Amino acid sequence: MTQEEYDKNIQTLISWAHAYYVEDNPQASDEEYDKLARTCLAYEQTYPQNSHPNSPNKRVGGMILEGFQKASHLSRMWSQEDVFNTEELIDWINRAKKVNTNLEFMCEPKFDGASLNLIYENGVLKQAITRGDGSVGEDVTNNVKTIHSIPLQIKEKSLLEIRGEVVIKKADFEKINEQRAKNNEQLFANPRNAASGSLRQLDPSITASRKLFFNVWGVGQNSLEFKRISEKMDYIYSLGFVKPPMQVVVNDVEGIEKVYHEIIASRDDIPMMLDGMVVKIDDIETQEELGYTVKFPRWSCAYKFPAVEKTTKIKDIIQQVGRTGVITPVAVVEPTHIDGSMVERASLHNYDEIERLDLRINDEVIIIKSGDIIPKITKVFHERRDGTQEKVLRPTNCPKCDSLLHDEGTLIKCQNLDCPSIVTNSIIYFASKNCMNIDGLGNKIVELLVNEKKIYDILDLYSLKYEDLQDLEGFKEKKISNLLNAIEKTKGTTLHRVINALGIEHIGEVASKQICLEFGLEVINIDLDSLIALDGIGEQMAKSFVDFMGVNKELVTKLIDIINPEVEVKQEVLENAFKGKTVVLTGTMSRSRGLIKKELEALGAKVSSSVSKKTDFLIYGEDAGSKYDKAIELGVSAITEEEMIEMI
Ligand SMILES: NC(=O)c1ccc[n+]([C@@H]2O[C@H](COP(=O)([O-])OP(=O)(O)OC[C@H]3O[C@@H](n4cnc5c(N)ncnc54)[C@H](O)[C@@H]3O)[C@@H](O)[C@H]2O)c1
Ligand SMILES: [Zn+2]
C-alpha cells in the first residue's frame, strides 16, 4: 500500500466508523471494515511515523450524537483486541505469558450490542453513559431506566461503575424491522445497530418500547477487593445483574478452544446475537501488570465467531409462487459463505419492499443470516453503484401459468384456478366444510388425486369416474361411491356457495351472497364500477373479484353449467320498522340469537356486533351487559325482544 492509498483507506474507515457508531447505519459489513482496518494496521506497524493521527486503529468507537448531554466516565472504557483463529490466540497468550507463565482464563460470550457504563453511588443508579470515545459518552440515564434488567438500586454502597452490553433479541430485531418496513422507515442492518439506535433515542418511551436487555460483563472504577475477575463478577451478579449463560475458567489453549466451540454450537439457542467469545486473564494482579494499549486491555481479547452478516451482490430477482398463488420475490445473490452454509438466496417481503429499498440487480447489499433467521437483505449500498444496475420490475404475469396477476401492492397473487401451483389448495378449499362440503375430499385425498394426475382442476372433479379411482391405494368400492356421490350432491346448490368456494381474495361468504343476489348469473361479467357501487363492497374487493373473473371466466362458466346452481333472487322487502336499520343483539333471548339475526336480516336490517353511534336499535335479552350500557350512553334506542316482536 502506498502512503496515498493508506490515507485514502483511513478516510474510508473514518467515514464508515462515523456511519456505524454515530448514525447506527453502517456503510460496510463488519468483515469489510475489519479487513481494511487490519490492512491499515499492518501499514501503521511498518511505518509508525506515517500513521494517521485519527486512525480508527488508535481510538475507541465513535462520537456523541447531537441532542444528548455529554458525560465522562470515571475510568476509561475500552474496545477489545480481535483474534480470528488459534494462531492469533496463541500469539496473544504468549504476549501475556511474559508477565506470568501460570495463566488462567475466564471465557464468556461476547454479546453484540451497545456498550454501556452505569455509575452507582450509595447503591443508587446515578448515571448511565454510552461508551462514546472511551472517555466521554452520551448521557442516556432516562432511557436506561426503562430497561428492566438494570437495577435502579443495589445493596453495594461504594462508588461503582458497572459495564455491560445493551442488546436486543434476534426475534425482536426482526419484528422491529418488519414494523419499520411497514412504516417505510430505513431498516436496521443488524441487531447491534438496532440496540444502539434504540438506546440512543431522545424520547425514552421509544427506548422503552424496544425490549432492550442488559448483559453485564465487567466493572470500571470500584473498590471491591477480589483476587480474580471471576470472583468479582460473581459478586456483581449477586447484586441483581443477570449472569451470562456460559462462563468458564480454563488454563490453556485447548480449554479456550473447547469453550469457544461450545458457545458457537449453542449460538442459535441463545436469543441474543453473539459475535464472539471474550477471553480474560482471571488474575487481577496480572491484569494490572499487563495494562492497556491506546485502544484495549492487554489482558483480554475477543475471539471472533464466523460472521453472520456479509456483503454480497444481487444477481437476479426471481419469483416464488406459494400454494395460495401469492408471488414472493426472492433475491439470487452471489454465493456467500455464512456461518457454515452457502447462501445463494435471500427472501424479500414483497415487491413494495424492493421499491422501498430501491434494490436493483447488480447492487451490493448486506445479507444477514443467523440461526433460524432466513437470509435477509437489510441494507443496499446505493453509493457503490457502477452503472450496471438494473431496475426490478413488478411481475404482471404468473411465472408458472403466465396468466395476469392480481396486484394490490404488498400482495401480488396468481388467481388462475388452472395454475399448477395453486390447484391443490384451490380444490381443498372448494371441497372444504364451509364451502361445498364434499365429504371424503380432505387434504390428503386431494393431494393424492392431483399427484396421481387424476384431476388438474376443480372442473375435473365432476368428470371423475369409478374406473379412475379403482387403482388408487385404499380406494374400495364403498369409498369410491361415497366420494362420487358427495361430489354429485353439490349440484344444484346455491350460486353464492359456488362463488364463495372459489377462494377469491377478500371475497367471503357475505360478499359472495350480496354479489350473487344483485347480479345472478351475470357475476362472471360484472365490471369494476358496478361492483364498487354495491353497498359494503370496497375497491380492493371489487378489483380482486374482477381480476379473478378476468382469468377464470371460462372455467367458472363451465363450472356453473355443470353444477347448475340455484340462483337466489333479491326479494323486495316490505316496509317495516327495521328495514335499512342497523341493529345489535345482546343478552339471552327466548330463541337463539342466530335465528333472530336471520329474521331481522330478512326484514332488511343490518345486524352488527358492536354498538356505535350508527346503531339504530339495541335489542336486549336477559343479563345484558356492557353493550346495553353503551347504547344508553349513546342514546341508542334499546328495546326488549317482546317489543321487537310487537314492532314487526
Ligand atoms: N461495518 C462497519 O462499517 C463498521 C464500522 C466500525 C466498526 N465496525 C465493527 O465494530 C467492531 C469494533 O467495534 P468496537 O471497538 O466497539 O469493538 P467490539 O464491539 O468488537 O468489541 C468491544 C466491545 O465488546 C463489548 N463486549 C461484549 N461482551 C463483552 C465481554 N464479555 N467482555 C468485554 N467486552 C464485551 C464491549 O462493549 C466492548 O466495548 C468491529 O468488529 C468492526 O467490524 C464496523
Ligand atoms: Zn399461476
Residues 6+ apart with CB under 8 A from 554: none
Query: Could you tell me the distance, in angstroms and rounded to a whole number, from the CA of residue 411 to the centre of ligand 2?
Result: 14
Mean pLDDT rounded to a whole number for the chain: 93
* CATH at 47: 1.10.287.610
Question: Is 470 found in the same domain as 445?
Answer: yes
* Residue 577 forms part of a structural domain: no
Q: Which amino acid is at 180?
A: R
- Domain-located, residue 261: no
Cα of 309 from ligand 1 centre, angstroms: 14
Is residue 498 located within the same domain as residue 480? yes
Are residues 559 and 456 part of one domain? yes
Whole-angstrom Cα distance, residue 426 to residue 418?
9
Phi, psi (deg, nearest 5) at residue 105: -120, 130
CATH number for position 373? 2.40.50.140
Q: Which long-range contacts (CB under 8 A, 24 or more apart) does 31-39 make?
A: 31/307, 31/309, 31/310, 31/311, 32/311, 34/82, 36/9, 36/12, 37/13, 39/1, 39/9
Contact 429, 501 (CB under 8 A): yes
Question: Is residue 115 located within the same domain as residue 10?
Answer: no
- Note whether residue 184 is domain-resident: yes
The residue with cell 440512543 is 200
- Please report whether residue 538 resides in a domain: yes
Inter-CA distances, 51 with 54, 81, 134, 135, Å:
9, 19, 21, 22
Tell me: pLDDT of 42 over 80.
Answer: yes
Task: Please check whether residues 204 and 340 belong to one and the same domain.
Answer: no
Ligand 1 centre from 113 Cα, in Å? Answer: 8
Task: Give the 3-state secondary structure of residue 131.
Answer: coil
Q: Is 610 annotated as a binding residue?
A: no
**Domain closes at, from 318, 349, 384:** 384
Q: How far apart are CA 179 and CA 184, in angstroms?
A: 9
Q: Which of 36, 41, 55, 79 to mutate to test the pocket of ligand 1 (most atoms within 8 A of CB)?
A: 79
How close is the Cα of 458 to the center of ligand 2, in Å? 15
Q: Give the chain's largest Cα–Cα span.
A: 102
User: For residues 80 and 193, what is the distance between their CA atoms, to the nearest angstrom?
Assistant: 18
Of residues 373 and 384, more confidently modeled: 384
Nearest to 164 by CA among 118, 216, 200, 125: 216
Establish if 575 belongs to a structural domain: no
Average pLDDT over residues 456-475: 93
Cα–Cα dist 54/455, whole Å: 72
Averaged pLDDT, 463-479: 92
* 419 annotated as belonging to a binding site for a ligand: yes
**Is position 80 annotated in a ligand binding site?**
yes
Nearest CA to ligand 1 atom 44: 30
| Percentage with pLDDT > 70 across the chain | 100
Q: Are residues 452 and 496 in the same domain?
A: yes
For residue 109, give the ligand 1 atom closest to its CA: 31
Pocket test for ligand 1, best of 21, 27, 30 (most atoms within 8 A of CB): 30
- Residue 309 labeled ligand binder: no
CATH assignment of the domain containing 591? 3.40.50.10190
The interface predicted TM-score of the complex, written ipTM, equals 0.96
* CATH number of the CATH domain containing 429: 1.10.150.20
Same domain, 316 and 195: no
The ligand that comes nearest to the alpha carbon of residue 323 is: 2
Tens digit of pLDDT for each residue in 281-306?
Answer: 999 999 999 999 999 999 999 999 98
| Shared domain check, 287 and 138 | yes
Which of 570, 599, 621 represents a domain boundary (last residue)?
Answer: 570
Ligand nearest to the CA of 325: 2
| Ligand 1 atom closest to Cα of residue 192 | 19
pLDDT at 524 over 80: yes
Give the pLDDT band of residue 14 (cuts 50, 70, 90). very high
Which domain covers residue 407, as residue numbers? 396-570
Provide mean pLDDT across the span 512-530: 94
Residue 371 in this model has a pLDDT that exceeds 90: no
CA 226 to ligand 2 centroid distance, Å: 70
State the Cα–Cα distance between residues 140 and 195, nearest whole angstrom.
13
Confidence (pLDDT) at 178: 85
User: Residue 108: which of 243, 18, 13, 254 has the closest Cα?
Assistant: 243
Residue 32 reports pLDDT greater than 90: yes
In a domain, residue 623? The reply is: yes
In terms of domains, do 127 and 35 share one? no
List strand residue ranges (DSSP E) for 38-123, in order. Answer: 70-72, 81-83, 105-111, 114-121
Select which of 8, 110, 315, 489 is catalytic: 110
Which residue has its alpha carbon closest to ligand 1 atom 9? 30
**What is the percent of the chain where pLDDT is above 90?**
82
pLDDT band at residue 372 under the 50/70/90 scheme: low
Residue 48 in any domain: the answer is yes
165 is in an annotated binding site: yes
Query: Could you tell me if 391 and 423 are in contact, meaning their C-beta atoms sit under 8 angstroms apart?
Result: no
pLDDT category of residue 81 using cuts at 50, 70 and 90: very high
Q: Judge residue 168's burial from the number of C-beta atoms within 10 Å of its C-beta, 0-12 exposed, 13-18 middle, 19 or more buried.
A: buried
pLDDT per residue as tens digits for the range 564-612? 999 988 777 788 899 889 999 999 999 888 889 888 988 888 888 889 9
For residue 544, pLDDT over 80 is answered with: yes
Q: What is the pLDDT of residue 120?
A: 98
| pLDDT of residue 386 exceeding 90 | yes
Is 482 found in the same domain as 358? no
Going by their DSSP bridges, the two strands 300-304 and 309-321 should be labelled as unpaired
CATH of the domain at 147: 3.30.470.30
Q: Which ligand is nearest to the CA of 196?
A: 1
Start-to-end C-alpha separation, the chain: 94
Q: What is the mean pLDDT of residues 471-486?
A: 93
Q: Are residues 473 and 521 in the same domain?
A: yes
Q: Is 579 a catalytic residue?
A: no
Q: Over the stretch 555-566, which tens digit does the pLDDT of each residue have?
A: 999 999 999 999
Select from 359, 384, 409 the last residue of a domain.
384
Count how many domains the chain has. Answer: 5
Instruction: Tell me the pLDDT tens digit for each residue of 603-641.
Output: 888 888 889 998 999 999 998 889 999 999 999 999 999
Is 263 domain-assigned? Answer: no
Q: For residue range 250-267, what is the model confidence (pLDDT) as tens digits?
A: 999 999 999 999 999 998
Phi–psi pair at 95, nearest 5 degrees: -65, -40
Q: Which residue has the higher pLDDT, 481 or 574?
A: 481
Residues 184 and 141 in one domain: yes
Give the pLDDT confidence score for residue 82 in this predicted structure: 95
Ligand 1 neighbours by CB, cut-off 6 Å: 16-17, 20, 26-30, 33-34, 61, 79-80, 108, 110-111, 115, 131, 165, 217-218, 278, 302
Q: Phi-psi bin for 474: left (phi > 0), alpha (psi -120 to 50), beta?
A: left
